[in-house]
Amino acid sequence: MAGPSLPDAETLEGTLEHVVFANERNHWTVARLRVHGNDDRITIVGTLPGLRAGEVLRVSGRHAVHQRFGPQFQVDSFQSVTPTTVDGIRRYLASGILSGMGKVLAERIVETFGDETLRVVDESPERLLEVEGIGRKKLESIIASWRASRAARETLVFLRGHGFGAALANRVFEVYGDRAMAVAREHPYRLTRDVDGVGFVIADRLARSVGFSEDAPERLEAGLRHVLAERLGDGQVATPWSELVERAARLLDIDPIEVDAALADLESGNAVRSERDADAARLVYLPRLHAAEVEVAGALRRLAAGVPAAVGALGHVDTALRNASVDLTEDQLDAVRLAVTNKLAVITGGPGVGKTTIVRTIVDVSRRAGLRVELAAPTGRAAKRMTEATGRDARTIHRLLEFDPGSGRFARGPDNPIDAEFVLIDETSMVDLLLMRDLLAALPAEANLVLVGDADQLPSVGPGRVLGDMLDSGVIPARRLTRVFRQEAGGLIVENAHRINRGEMPTVPIDVDGADFFMIPREDPEAARAVIEEMVTRRIPDRFGIPSTDIQVLTPMYRGEVGADRLNERLQATLNPGDPHVTRGTLRLRIGDRVMQLANDYDRGVFNGDVGRVDDVTADAVHVVIDQRTVRYTAKELEQLTLAYAITVHKSQGSEYPAVIVPMSTAHWPLLQRNLLYTAMTRGRRIVVVVGSMRALERAVGNAHVARRHGLLARRLRADDAPSLFGPAFDPAPSGERGGTEGGGGDDER
């Protein structure tokens, strides 16, 4: 059944009397317009940059009635119409549209040139020197202001006409200034590299409309770069040549032979690099990723062959053990010895195998040996857990490397290394190739490095699978712990995590008393969603005393009835009802809402994956408490937030929660994989509940296939000719190119 039809668009022309409100960041404007012909005064609203009282506007849109503010005209598009009357010109110039021009000067100019004033300003601005009070300096200011205003208007009208949203068109002008129109017309594909939010599709539509042919070299290059960027977003370091050509040809709807030739041209111009893997397949790299892989391999090989900082540290193991609260098994002792007798060591294993006990012992041994120790993890949540487990301060890797928002680079590097002799990194499975490159570059020559993590969890969101490649290489000193110790009463969370990891279905308790794992079968997604709502709001709080605020729903993806988007909508309505205090797009926030940060913001010290609560809403900002401090978000910055009653499993990496609910639906079939379910299971401390389809659960347990991440790091680690540690040509990646896993998690399939 069709929804209500929108009223027909209408075009009005009138004089702008005054601006009621204008947001300088996103140009959302409320203004009063006197309509020509009937002198009606109406309120117009919309994205209307640079309006000034006295302008004549032609606006297109629809009449509507706002629930709170009453009748208004919602503007879809507008253009400024040059005023033609002397009075209109006088008001226009006096409106502040030109820098340094007030009412008195505007009056003098109009007295001098009459109804020819605007033509003089536009075509013969030097004549303004005839007006009393205008000297050479004032003239230059007026000309610059006039040109900037005209360029902004022309650019925004042009881009809006080619499918750019208002905010995106504004962003283009902010990047290029008065060159924006020329760049958009002559180099439209540059926008994909320079302007955040401009993807290939919208740039291609613009390019084709201004005359670029389907086989233009710029188009072929942009298409290939777009596919490489997509693969990078999927965690790929490199892409097979044939796959890249095939994907780009489909995107461009052009003969693969032409795309292949264009890719060869890119390689000959050093815009991409290629190498053959062990199967002789040709892999294509972006140059910065190729350099990072080569550099990481060289750094790791050098470390593995080095002499540890304190050769005698092993003698402190017995002392550390006497102070420990538990006895270590021989396997755990081997892991400790490995860490203190090698310059580089990897310790891996699943939940309950004693990694935390080993980390505490390693730190104790290192400190007793007199070494300066630094502890770090990829996310703030993982660093906090590390601090709690060891009693020693731990930081995020980004803070350890001292990221400088001003320069977009890390302060720590080859010329200013970390002040430590022993560095231990936890949750290493989350560390991508670029972040590992930066960490190794900042490691002092004398330092030991111990990497701890669970290689069976989801790999890093950013490019590569560094921990997995290190283990696969067989040349890095490593210990995999398999004996499970953490089997408290019930103990099914840990047991079932390991069962799932072995490809076995989880044990579902018959007697649920004292159990910490449950499965509630619901084949219908709507029925599963209803159960999840009940579990969060009533059953878990009532039975286990765990408040709803400590229950986290972890779902494979955003879409669907049990996807993050729908669950957040429903859980917000149940747990925090009421009128929204602030709305931006589809996001509706209320005081008390649980929210998550979606992007790294180094200026304010909040990172992708950080979770907080809305504490206050004012007229111009939302205040969110994250890690016991308040962070302020303006209206435009709200795009960095999303509701977090339900989050994707990827976003949960590095975190633990008292209670976890995991929806399993056949609607999520492409993402139902063993390592995803295993990662979700290992996030719960006290309670884990799986709700949904038994068939979906069987699919996830049985699907050990993990999309291959292409790259040559493991082979480079085994190679005899791997290069040495970073030389003088090493240049840390700029902001936006380094490891994006700070704060954990990236976007899953929508």
DSSP string, 589-610: E-TT-EEEE-S-BTTTTB-TT-
Q: How far is Cα of residue 303 from the mean position of the Cα atoms in its chain?
A: 32
Residue with tokens 């202001």: 145
Interval 620-653: pLDDT, tens: 789 999 877 899 998 778 888 999 999 999 888 8
Across the chain, what does the average pLDDT equal? 85
Residue 69 confidence class, pLDDT cut points 50, 70, 90 = confident
Q: Evaluate if residue 77 carries a pLDDT over 80.
A: no
Residue 738 confidence class, pLDDT cut points 50, 70, 90 = very low
pLDDT at residue 523 in the model: 93
| Alpha-helical segments (H) within 446-576 | 466-473, 492-501, 525-534, 540-544, 564-575
Apex 510 CA angle, 504 and 516, nearest 5 = 70
Residue 312 confidence class, pLDDT cut points 50, 70, 90 = low
Q: How far is Cα of residue 386 from the mean position of the Cα atoms in its chain?
A: 24
Residue range 87-103: mean pLDDT, rounded: 74
Q: The pTM is what?
A: 0.77
pLDDT at residue 576 in the model: 93
Beta-strand pair 448-453/422-425? parallel
pLDDT at residue 2 in the model: 39
> H-helix or E-strand containing 558?
none
- Between 157 and 348, where is the model more confident? 348
Beta-strand pair 344-349/641-643? unpaired
Residue 614 β-bridge partners: 624
Residue range 437-456: mean pLDDT, rounded: 95
Pick from 277, 232, 607: nearest CA to 433: 232
Q: Evaluate if residue 4 carries a pLDDT over 50.
A: no
How many helices (H) does the chain have, and how many strands (E)? 26, 28
Residue range 539-550: mean pLDDT, rounded: 94
pLDDT at residue 723 in the model: 42
- Percentage of residues of the chain with pLDDT beyond 70: 89
